[in-house]
């Protein structure tokens, strides 16, 4: 019993000596790792602030993309410092990097659609085919852009309906931006009767366009016959206006043209067709039968 107790004491002393040796050997490594982690946190935070200010100096740089990239740089620096700390303890960093790569690939495959939206969101924020407040059409989507995020874009439809559109759909579709250019053209086309005075119709339309302050003098409005339709002679008045005034100017001039045409006896015909009736000749058999 005494021999067993003595052996246990000796084993405990040996374990303590080994632990002390390990502590002595790794104390500097542990201290260095802690210091390295603290430095990594400070550097990562500094890189985030520096990159955030740097991106802010770029004119027109989107705020959402600015935050996303600065935080991405911060976490990249943290990962690099963490790998360096693990290397201090003899950990095979190559295997860790390979494992992280495999995990990233698996996550990427699982979140393929989400990552596509993020990539599309970054491209939309960088290339800026549209901005907040602009009216766009993309496929079956038409409305005013409310917010552009990394995953989706919020759009207010013409009827006031809220639309949450994934960025990948907008990126993979041709986008028509009606608000980007400061000026827009409109062709006001009205059909008049074939017996009406074409020159008078052109004069009236030009007077209306030139008399509206919202219509630009350069390029100057012009009027011309654009088509000889089935039921009408289509006369067009082409004018330019500021984009902000385009819609209301179109409505007002269309109404004014109708009133001016009515006042001057110019008709706006509705579609009509001329039907010519050709009586059929009675067959010879029927004629002979009646004669018999």
Give me the residues paired with residue 176 across strands: 137
Q: Report whether 236 contacts 187 (CB < 8 A).
A: yes
Structural tokens at position 176: 């028509």
Q: What is the pLDDT of residue 1?
A: 45
* pTM across the whole model: 0.63
Close Cβ partners of 113 (under 8 Å, ≥ 6 residues apart)? 166, 168
Structural tokens at position 20: 């002390």
Which domains can be identified in the chain, with CATH numbers? 2-110 (1.10.287.1260), 129-177 (2.30.30.60), 183-263 (3.30.70.100)
pLDDT string in tens for the chain (292-residue length): 454 666 666 666 666 666 655 555 566 666 777 787 888 888 888 888 888 888 878 776 777 777 778 888 888 888 888 877 777 666 666 666 776 677 666 666 655 667 888 888 888 888 889 988 999 999 888 999 998 888 889 999 999 999 999 999 899 999 999 999 999 999 999 999 999 999 999 999 999 999 999 999 999 999 999 999 988 999 999 999 999 999 999 999 999 999 999 999 999 998 777 787 787 766 555 555 555 5
Q: Report whether 240 contacts 199 (CB < 8 A).
A: no
Query: What is the C-alpha end-to-end distance of the chain, expressed in Å?
Result: 149
């Amino acid at each position: 019993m005494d021999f067993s107790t003595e052996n246990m004491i000796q084993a405990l002393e040996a374990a303590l000596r080994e632990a002390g040796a390990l502590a002595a050997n790794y104390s500097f490594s542990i201290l260095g790792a802690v210091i390295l982690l603290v430095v990594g946190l400070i550097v990562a935070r500094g890189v985030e602030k520096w990159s955030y200010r740097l991106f802010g100096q770029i004119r027109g740089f989107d705020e959402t993309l600015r935050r996303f990239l600065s935080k991405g740089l911060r976490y990249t620096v943290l990962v690099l410092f963490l790998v360096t700390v693990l290397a201090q303890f003899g950990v095979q960093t190559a295997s860790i990097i390979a494992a992280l790569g495999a995990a990233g690939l698996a996550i990427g495959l699982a979140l393929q659609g989400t990552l596509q939206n993020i990539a599309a969101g970054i491209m939309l924020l960088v290339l800026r085919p549209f901005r907040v407040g602009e009216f766009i059409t993309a496929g079956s989507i038409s409305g005013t852009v409310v917010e552009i995020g990394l995953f989706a874009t919020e759009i207010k439809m013409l009827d006031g309906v809220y639309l949450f559109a994934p960025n990948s759909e907008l990126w993979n579709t041709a986008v028509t931006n009606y608000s980007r250019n400061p000026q827009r053209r409109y062709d006001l086309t009205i059909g008049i009767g074939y017996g009406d005075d074409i020159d008078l119709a052109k004069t009236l339309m030009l007077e209306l366009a030139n008399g509206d302050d919202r219509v630009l003098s350069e390029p100057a409005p012009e009027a011309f016959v654009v088509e000889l339709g089935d039921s009408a002679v289509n006369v067009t008045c082409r004018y330019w206006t500021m984009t902000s005034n385009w819609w209301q100017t179109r409505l007002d001039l269309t109404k004014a043209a109708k009133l001016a045409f009515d006042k001057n006896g110019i008709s706006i015909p509705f579609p009509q067709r001329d039907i010519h009736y050709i009586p059929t000749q009675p067959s010879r058999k029927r004629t002979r039968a009646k004669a018999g």
